[in-house]
Amino acid sequence: MSSLNAVPLTTAGGASWTVRAVDGAVPDQHSALLAAPVAANVPGEVHTDLLAAGLIPDPFDGDNEGRLAWIGETSWSYRTVFDWESDGHAVQELVADGLDTVATVTMNGTELGRTANQHRSYRFDVTGVLVAERNELVIEFAGPVTAARSEVERHGEWPHTNHHPYNALRKMASNFGWDWGPDVATVGIWRPIRIESWTGVRIESVRPLAGLDRDRGVLDTRVALAWADGFTEDATITVEVGGTTTEMTVPAGTAEAGITSTIDSVDRWWPRGHGEQPLYDVAVALRAGTQSDEWSGRVGFRTVRIEVAPDQSGSPFVILVNDKPIYVRGANWIPDDAFVTRLDRTTYEQSIRDAVDARMNLLRVWGGGIYESDDFYDLCSELGILVWQDFLFACAAYSEDASMRGEVEAEARQAVTRLSQHASLAVWNGNNENIWGYVEWGWRVPLAGRAWGQGYYFDLLPAIMAELDPRTPYSPGSPYSFDQFIHPNDERNGTMHIWDVWNQVDYTTYGKYKPRFASEFGFQGPPAWSTLTSVVHDEPLDPYGQQMLVHQKAHEGNLKLQRGLGDHLPLWKTINDWHWITQLNQARAVAYGIEHFRSLFPLNMGAVVWQLNDNWPVISWAAVDGHGIRKPLWFALQRVYADRLLTVQSREDGPVVAAHNDTDSVWSTSVTVSRRSTEAGGEVLAQETFALEVEPRSAVLNSLPASVAASSDPAAEYVEVRADDGSSTYWYFVEDTSLRLLRDAYTALVSVSDDGYDVTVTASALAKDLALFPDRLDPAARVDSCLITLSAGESHTFRVTAASTPDGPLGVPVLRSVNDLVG
């Protein structure tokens, strides 16, 4: 057992906290907050405290977001009184794992220090300040919006996106609002806080750097030590891992010790789809005389590197695990709730399962969010999801003056140290879009020669990586071309973000790009109907209604949704049609891009869609909405991220059947391509079969046979591609607005199941993109499939998990298809 004693000061640990407003923009109806404190939860945030006390309405509902903006302009004071009894240790410290953000910390009337960084922890010596029995701890937070403006007034403004100067503070950027997130700039003790007492020496941190030497596991454990003044005992450090125990003695005062353990035979850790995910427990013990301390964690033995050396097509971006190239099928990850203290291991697991079930193998933790909870990285390691971790800089220029640089260095050192144990951590990335922003977004004039962050991305951060975790590859930014003389968002080199699609051009423009690695791209769509209507109450409901637009943060977002329909789908006539059409178009757009990228393999080695998740109920790029409901986009991703993908793609010489085999075994099957009628009976007009043989981790292109590719009536014909192993895809000669479909092309039968009900749909003619939305009947209901296309004579059963069964037959708006839009 450790002789270090920790006394939690959290609500769960028994501490009783209050919060009250100190000064700021408090409205008259809330003026009592300036005098009377309310109960607070620690860890927590002021918004959730006020909500729990019934003093504010739900910030996500209606137009409450704007009505509650005063909270971010107000200073708040958290206070607790606690008893403490000496345990005989010589040193007492207050340890705060996370304070959000600009705070003054006072104990028993003595100021301990000031903080200015949400992304790091703080340790304050309270020896002599802490007294027996009653102690008072007060943490006063400046309003974050006010604090950011004050920094601008003192030091000037650096270019940024969005309306608040979030880049003036080391605080979660998206907490100030984003083009998918609410402006709920909050404060609070957002991670655990405690009193630690110790004598002599303690473990400051552990970096267990796991690697491989052929089949042997090598663990280079770096143990940082903190020593009390005057303590002269030498220390013994023991590391246990994989049945191997390694011990060393270090002289008193040693700041860091390095211990190498070798395990003769280890099972390698792999991302999902490439192998298993064995994890090994690591136990570190410290002894010095009568004093002791300990640390425990888990590691996975693997190597990771990035290949960016120039080739004949430019410069690739290839992630290799254990020297094996990985085709990345991923998504960008944002904080999973606008109020991050409501997240726990269960909520993380639900969302990471969304990635696993969609057949993803990587999540990119975006730079406008946070360094996530260890639960996030633990779960990714267990489930085989690689993590690309941004350092926390996004869409802005950043000061490099001494105070900001000091905070950046402190947070980066802590983050790299904390996350180094996780097998899932595969890439560190310097920033999101800032290098691109400097080159192309008009920053140079307002910067007037001032540093803008390049010193972080090209000097400080890579130096920290080289010192603390040289095993893990580093990229200066995303996008980045890995050459200072090449535009950072060049498709031929490195990583690329594609945002002209969605913002300016039709989604078929994806087909004009040949990105080596697409690390951001996406298209918007609304959340589930039940999610949307839980917070939007416009009467009548309209895409351009006042509350609807509160929940659409993108510039001209709903206009872009409308423009993005192009010739693909008809303009809606009702709000129900708007909801279905825009969700469908979102799914179509992203699937179109990913299928094209995968058809370019191995020129293209990855697609990371924007974005997996939402942090509130909103119209956004997410595949899973703020209530955890999987949108049609999610089901499209599940299809196009399959281990084996069939798709029909356009090439200069005509359409081709592209097959990408992202498995370790040969894909050998027979493929039948048919040109069929869209009308009743689905007559087969032409048909040919060919053998498909695709080697492991490779792709092939087969020309679509001429008899199938040539149509006599494009509006009434389509191409069906089916492999004997069950893989399938479809191709059309015209857009849906010109396609001849029958409204009565299918029937639906509802039957009771053990955990809900089944809906079996049978087609008598082409039924395109069938979708079932059971949340319209019960917000808790979930369906297992979506966007199902049936040829004449085929059936599909939607399996619904729900508490009750529909009373009658299902139709619009619960059961939808393209047929009911254009038929």
pLDDT at 657 over 60: yes
Per-residue burial over 251-280, b = 16 or more CB atoms within 10 Å of its CB, e = otherwise = eeebeebebebebeebbbbbbbbbbebebb
The enclosing domain of 771 has a CATH number of: 2.60.40
Same domain, residue pair 186 and 201: no
In a domain, 327, yes or no: yes
Quote the pLDDT of residue 807: 87
Quote the pLDDT of residue 555: 95
Q: What are phi and psi of 357, to 5 degrees?
A: -65, -25
* Contact residues for 282 (Cβ-Cβ < 8 A; gap 6+): 208, 219, 221, 239, 240, 241, 296, 297, 298, 299, 421
**d(C-alpha 727, C-alpha 639), whole Å:** 10
- Mean pLDDT is lowest, of 22-36, 304-318, 398-412, 447-461, for 22-36
pLDDT at 109 over 60: yes
What is the number of helices (H) and of strands (E) in the chain? 18, 44
Same domain, residue pair 702 and 795: no
For residue 284, name the pLDDT band (cuts at 50, 70, 90).
very high
Quote the pLDDT of residue 366: 98
Same domain, residue pair 401 and 421: yes
Q: What is the pLDDT of residues 169-188, one digit of tens each?
A: 999 999 999 999 999 999 99
Give the torsion through C-alpha atoms of 162, 164, 169, 173, to 10 deg: -40
Quote the pLDDT of residue 638: 98
Tokens of 460: 């400080």
Same domain, residue pair 758 and 613: no
Q: What is the pLDDT of residues 565-618, one digit of tens each?
A: 999 999 999 999 999 999 999 999 999 999 999 999 999 999 999 999 999 999
Same domain, residue pair 146 and 43: yes
pLDDT at 2 over 80: no
In a domain, 178, yes or no: yes
In a domain, 110, yes or no: yes
The enclosing domain of 23 has a CATH number of: 2.60.120.260
In a domain, 307, yes or no: no
Q: What is the pLDDT of residues 156-173, one digit of tens each?
A: 999 999 999 999 999 999
Quote the pLDDT of residue 457: 98
**d(C-alpha 112, C-alpha 815), whole Å:** 61
Same domain, residue pair 185 and 238: no
In a domain, 87, yes or no: yes
In a domain, 308, yes or no: no
Same domain, residue pair 469 and 327: yes
pLDDT at 809 over 90: no
For residue 24, name the pLDDT band (cuts at 50, 70, 90).
confident
* Number of Cβ within a 10 Å radius of residue 36: 10
Quote the pLDDT of residue 808: 83
- Say if strands 496-498 and 518-521 run parallel, antiparallel, or are unpaired: parallel
For residue 755, name the pLDDT band (cuts at 50, 70, 90).
very high
* pLDDT, mean over the chain: 97
Q: Are the CB atoms for 278 and 299 separated by under 8 Å?
A: no
Sign of CA dihedral 197, 199, 203, 204: positive
Domain residues for the domain of 190 are: 5-196
For residue 215, name the pLDDT band (cuts at 50, 70, 90).
confident
- Give the end of a domain, one of 153, 180, 196: 196
For residue 823, name the pLDDT band (cuts at 50, 70, 90).
confident
- Say if strands 795-801 and 782-783 run parallel, antiparallel, or are unpaired: antiparallel
Same domain, residue pair 692 and 761: no
Same domain, residue pair 603 and 460: yes
Q: What is the pLDDT of residues 330-382, one digit of tens each?
A: 999 999 999 999 999 999 999 999 999 999 999 999 999 999 999 999 999 99
Farthest CA pair distance, the chain: 92
- Give the end of a domain, one of 640, 669, 691: 640
Q: Are the CB atoms for 521 and 595 separated by under 8 Å?
A: no
The enclosing domain of 363 has a CATH number of: 3.20.20.80
**d(C-alpha 58, C-alpha 47), whole Å:** 9
Number of domains in the chain: 5
Quote the pLDDT of residue 326: 98
Same domain, residue pair 718 and 786: no
Same domain, residue pair 632 and 514: yes
Please give the model's pTM, rounded to 2 decimal places. Answer: 0.97
pLDDT at 306 over 60: yes
In a domain, 480, yes or no: yes
Same domain, residue pair 517 and 597: yes
pLDDT at 1 over 60: no
The residues with which 635 forms a beta bridge, in sequence order, are none
The enclosing domain of 648 has a CATH number of: 2.60.40.10
pLDDT at 294 over 70: yes
The three-state DSSP-derived secondary structure of 650-710 is: EECCEEEEEEEECCCCCEEEEEEEEEEECCCCCCEEEEEEEEEEECCCEEEEEECCHHHHC
Q: What is the pLDDT of residues 125-135, one digit of tens each?
A: 999 999 998 99
Helix spans in 344-399 (H): 345-357, 374-383
In a domain, 37, yes or no: yes
For residue 25, name the pLDDT band (cuts at 50, 70, 90).
confident
Quote the pLDDT of residue 127: 96
- Give the end of a domain, one of 605, 640, 675: 640
